[in-house]
Protein backbone atom coordinates (compact mmCIF):
# COMPACT_ATOMS: atom_id res chain seq x y z
CA UNK A 1 0.00 0.00 0.00
CA UNK A 2 1.30 3.46 -0.90
CA UNK A 3 2.06 5.92 1.88
CA UNK A 4 -0.77 8.19 3.02
CA UNK A 5 -0.87 11.64 1.41
CA UNK A 6 -1.74 14.92 3.14
CA UNK A 7 -2.49 18.13 1.25
CA UNK A 8 -1.88 21.34 3.21
CA UNK A 9 -2.83 24.79 1.93
CA UNK A 10 -1.31 27.98 3.24
CA UNK A 11 1.91 26.05 3.75
CA UNK A 12 4.23 28.96 3.01
CA UNK A 13 4.24 30.28 6.57
CA UNK A 14 2.59 30.34 9.97
CA UNK A 15 0.25 27.54 10.94
CA UNK A 16 0.35 25.83 7.55
CA UNK A 17 4.15 25.58 7.66
CA UNK A 18 4.02 23.92 11.07
CA UNK A 19 1.29 21.51 9.95
CA UNK A 20 3.56 20.36 7.12
CA UNK A 21 6.36 19.70 9.60
CA UNK A 22 4.04 17.90 12.00
CA UNK A 23 2.50 15.54 9.46
CA UNK A 24 5.67 14.84 7.44
CA UNK A 25 6.72 11.95 9.68
CA UNK A 26 3.69 9.89 8.68
CA UNK A 27 2.48 11.32 5.35
CA UNK A 28 3.74 12.32 1.96
CA UNK A 29 3.11 16.06 2.01
CA UNK A 30 1.68 18.13 -0.80
CA UNK A 31 2.14 21.80 0.13
CA UNK A 32 0.21 24.60 -1.58
CA UNK A 33 0.95 28.29 -1.26
CA UNK A 34 1.81 31.47 -3.11
CA UNK A 35 5.52 31.79 -2.21
CA UNK A 36 7.67 29.26 -4.08
CA UNK A 37 10.80 29.85 -1.99
CA UNK A 38 8.98 29.42 1.31
CA UNK A 39 7.20 26.33 0.02
CA UNK A 40 10.54 24.79 -0.93
CA UNK A 41 11.78 25.45 2.61
CA UNK A 42 8.98 23.34 4.10
CA UNK A 43 10.64 20.15 2.88
CA UNK A 44 7.33 18.90 1.46
CA UNK A 45 7.65 16.15 -1.14
CA UNK A 46 5.44 18.04 -3.60
CA UNK A 47 4.98 21.81 -3.71
CA UNK A 48 2.55 23.73 -5.87
CA UNK A 49 2.67 27.50 -6.17
CA UNK A 50 -0.82 28.74 -6.88
CA UNK A 51 -3.19 31.57 -6.05
CA UNK A 52 -6.25 29.78 -4.69
CA UNK A 53 -8.33 32.90 -5.29
CA UNK A 54 -8.07 32.19 -9.02
CA UNK A 55 -11.02 30.01 -10.01
CA UNK A 56 -9.08 28.98 -13.11
CA UNK A 57 -6.74 26.92 -10.96
CA UNK A 58 -9.67 24.60 -10.19
CA UNK A 59 -10.87 24.32 -13.79
CA UNK A 60 -9.71 21.85 -16.42
CA UNK A 61 -6.05 22.54 -17.10
CA UNK A 62 -5.58 24.48 -13.85
CA UNK A 63 -2.69 23.75 -11.51
CA UNK A 64 -4.84 22.46 -8.67
CA UNK A 65 -6.90 20.20 -10.93
CA UNK A 66 -3.73 18.77 -12.47
CA UNK A 67 -2.31 18.19 -9.01
CA UNK A 68 -5.31 16.24 -7.75
CA UNK A 69 -5.40 14.19 -10.95
CA UNK A 70 -1.73 13.27 -10.48
CA UNK A 71 -2.14 11.86 -6.97
CA UNK A 72 -2.88 8.18 -6.44
CA UNK A 73 -4.69 8.92 -3.16
CA UNK A 74 -5.69 11.70 -0.76
CA UNK A 75 -5.94 10.76 2.91
CA UNK A 76 -5.86 14.16 4.59
CA UNK A 77 -6.79 17.63 3.35
CA UNK A 78 -5.98 20.57 5.63
CA UNK A 79 -7.26 24.01 4.72
CA UNK A 80 -4.92 26.43 6.46
CA UNK A 81 -4.77 29.25 3.90
CA UNK A 82 -6.62 32.35 5.08
CA UNK A 83 -6.57 36.12 4.96
CA UNK A 84 -7.99 38.66 7.37
CA UNK A 85 -7.62 42.42 7.50
CA UNK A 86 -9.19 44.58 10.20
CA UNK A 87 -11.61 47.28 9.22
CA UNK A 88 -15.01 48.60 10.16
CA UNK A 89 -18.04 47.27 8.34
CA UNK A 90 -18.77 50.75 6.98
CA UNK A 91 -15.32 50.98 5.39
CA UNK A 92 -15.01 47.42 4.00
CA UNK A 93 -15.45 47.64 0.24
CA UNK A 94 -16.52 45.03 -2.31
CA UNK A 95 -12.97 44.08 -3.24
CA UNK A 96 -12.12 43.24 0.37
CA UNK A 97 -15.30 41.20 0.84
CA UNK A 98 -14.47 39.21 -2.28
CA UNK A 99 -10.83 38.74 -1.27
CA UNK A 100 -11.64 37.31 2.15
CA UNK A 101 -14.66 35.22 1.17
CA UNK A 102 -12.90 33.78 -1.89
CA UNK A 103 -9.76 32.85 0.03
CA UNK A 104 -11.43 31.66 3.22
CA UNK A 105 -14.54 29.92 1.88
CA UNK A 106 -14.77 29.49 -1.88
CA UNK A 107 -11.24 28.13 -2.40
CA UNK A 108 -11.58 25.47 0.34
CA UNK A 109 -14.92 24.43 -1.14
CA UNK A 110 -13.53 24.07 -4.66
CA UNK A 111 -10.43 22.18 -3.54
CA UNK A 112 -12.44 19.81 -1.36
CA UNK A 113 -14.82 19.12 -4.25
CA UNK A 114 -11.90 18.19 -6.52
CA UNK A 115 -10.32 15.91 -3.91
CA UNK A 116 -13.57 14.34 -2.73
CA UNK A 117 -13.50 11.13 -4.84
CA UNK A 118 -10.03 10.28 -3.53
CA UNK A 119 -10.93 11.27 0.02
CA UNK A 120 -13.89 8.88 -0.20
CA UNK A 121 -11.68 6.06 -1.47
CA UNK A 122 -9.33 6.58 1.49
CA UNK A 123 -12.07 7.23 4.08
CA UNK A 124 -10.03 10.37 4.62
CA UNK A 125 -10.12 13.40 6.87
CA UNK A 126 -10.76 17.04 5.97
CA UNK A 127 -9.64 19.70 8.45
CA UNK A 128 -10.88 23.26 8.08
CA UNK A 129 -8.89 25.82 10.03
CA UNK A 130 -11.62 28.02 11.39
CA UNK A 131 -11.20 30.46 14.24
CA UNK A 132 -12.66 31.44 17.55
CA UNK A 133 -14.65 33.93 15.49
CA UNK A 134 -16.30 30.99 13.70
CA UNK A 135 -18.81 31.02 16.55
CA UNK A 136 -18.57 34.54 17.97
CA UNK A 137 -17.99 38.09 16.66
CA UNK A 138 -14.87 40.22 16.82
CA UNK A 139 -14.58 44.01 16.71
CA UNK A 140 -13.82 45.57 13.30
CA UNK A 141 -13.54 42.16 11.60
CA UNK A 142 -16.91 41.78 9.86
CA UNK A 143 -15.61 40.24 6.63
CA UNK A 144 -13.29 37.82 8.41
CA UNK A 145 -15.94 36.82 10.96
CA UNK A 146 -18.49 36.27 8.19
CA UNK A 147 -16.03 34.12 6.24
CA UNK A 148 -15.21 31.92 9.23
CA UNK A 149 -18.89 31.49 10.11
CA UNK A 150 -19.45 30.46 6.48
CA UNK A 151 -16.52 28.05 6.61
CA UNK A 152 -17.99 26.32 9.65
CA UNK A 153 -21.33 26.07 7.88
CA UNK A 154 -19.58 24.53 4.89
CA UNK A 155 -17.86 21.98 7.12
CA UNK A 156 -21.07 21.10 8.95
CA UNK A 157 -22.95 20.56 5.69
CA UNK A 158 -20.13 18.56 4.13
CA UNK A 159 -20.00 16.33 7.22
CA UNK A 160 -23.68 15.46 6.86
CA UNK A 161 -23.33 14.62 3.19
CA UNK A 162 -20.12 12.62 3.47
CA UNK A 163 -20.92 10.54 6.56
CA UNK A 164 -22.18 7.71 4.37
CA UNK A 165 -18.87 7.71 2.48
CA UNK A 166 -16.73 7.53 5.61
CA UNK A 167 -15.10 10.95 5.19
CA UNK A 168 -14.40 12.72 8.47
CA UNK A 169 -14.78 16.52 8.57
CA UNK A 170 -13.43 18.66 11.39
CA UNK A 171 -13.49 22.38 12.07
CA UNK A 172 -10.51 23.32 14.23
CA UNK A 173 -11.11 26.69 15.88
CA UNK A 174 -7.99 28.18 17.45
CA UNK A 175 -7.96 31.43 19.32
CA UNK A 176 -5.37 34.04 18.44
CA UNK A 177 -2.12 32.54 17.12
CA UNK A 178 1.34 34.09 16.91
CA UNK A 179 1.61 34.37 13.12
CA UNK A 180 2.46 37.10 10.58
CA UNK A 181 -1.26 37.55 9.96
CA UNK A 182 -1.80 38.14 13.68
CA UNK A 183 0.90 40.81 13.68
CA UNK A 184 -0.87 42.53 10.79
CA UNK A 185 -4.24 42.27 12.52
CA UNK A 186 -3.05 43.73 15.80
CA UNK A 187 -1.13 46.53 14.12
CA UNK A 188 -4.22 47.35 12.07
CA UNK A 189 -6.27 47.55 15.27
CA UNK A 190 -3.65 49.77 16.91
CA UNK A 191 -2.77 47.21 19.60
CA UNK A 192 0.64 46.45 21.10
CA UNK A 193 1.77 43.04 19.88
CA UNK A 194 2.45 40.62 22.74
CA UNK A 195 3.31 37.18 21.29
CA UNK A 196 3.29 35.52 24.71
CA UNK A 197 -0.46 36.00 24.84
CA UNK A 198 -1.08 33.92 21.73
CA UNK A 199 -0.98 30.26 20.79
CA UNK A 200 2.12 29.03 19.00
CA UNK A 201 1.62 27.76 15.44
CA UNK A 202 3.16 24.41 16.38
CA UNK A 203 0.51 23.99 19.07
CA UNK A 204 -2.21 24.28 16.46
CA UNK A 205 -0.30 21.83 14.26
CA UNK A 206 -0.30 19.32 17.11
CA UNK A 207 -4.06 19.73 17.37
CA UNK A 208 -4.30 18.87 13.67
CA UNK A 209 -2.24 15.77 14.40
CA UNK A 210 -4.71 14.86 17.14
CA UNK A 211 -7.58 15.09 14.66
CA UNK A 212 -5.79 13.11 11.95
CA UNK A 213 -4.75 10.37 14.37
CA UNK A 214 -8.17 9.95 15.97
CA UNK A 215 -9.17 6.26 16.19
CA UNK A 216 -11.24 4.95 13.31
CA UNK A 217 -14.38 4.81 15.45
CA UNK A 218 -14.10 8.52 16.39
CA UNK A 219 -15.23 11.58 14.46
CA UNK A 220 -14.02 14.88 15.92
CA UNK A 221 -16.43 17.43 14.55
CA UNK A 222 -15.52 20.74 16.23
CA UNK A 223 -12.37 21.38 18.24
CA UNK A 224 -11.66 24.68 20.00
CA UNK A 225 -8.26 25.60 21.36
CA UNK A 226 -7.56 28.79 23.30
CA UNK A 227 -4.41 30.50 24.58
CA UNK A 228 -3.64 29.74 28.22
CA UNK A 229 -2.67 33.09 29.68
CA UNK A 230 -1.83 33.47 33.37
CA UNK A 231 -2.90 36.56 35.23
Catalytic residues: 144
- What gap in Å lies between CA 220 and CA 231, rounded to an integer? 31
What letter does residue 163 receive in the DSSP assignment?
A: G
Structure-derived torsion over alpha carbons of residues 67, 121, 106, 227, reported in degrees to the nearest 10: -100
Helix residue ranges per DSSP H, 71-141: 94-101, 107-122
Query: Any residues with CB less than 8 A from the CB of 156 and at least 6 apart, and which?
Result: 171, 221
Count the Cβ atoms, other than its own, within 10 Å of residue 102.
17
On whether the CB atoms of residues 206 and 174 are closer than 8 A, the answer is: no
Integer distance in angstroms from the first to the last C-alpha of the chain? 51
Residue of 12, 10, 7, 19 lying closest to 209 (CA atoms)? 19
- What gap in Å lies between CA 11 and CA 202, rounded to an integer? 13
Amino acid sequence: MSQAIAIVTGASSGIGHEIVRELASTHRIVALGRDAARLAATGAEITVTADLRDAGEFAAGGKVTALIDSLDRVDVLVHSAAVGTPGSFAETDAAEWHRQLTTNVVAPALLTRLALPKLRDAAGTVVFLGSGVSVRPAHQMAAYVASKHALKGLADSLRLEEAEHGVRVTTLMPGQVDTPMQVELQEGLGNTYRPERYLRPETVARAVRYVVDAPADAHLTDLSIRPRVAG
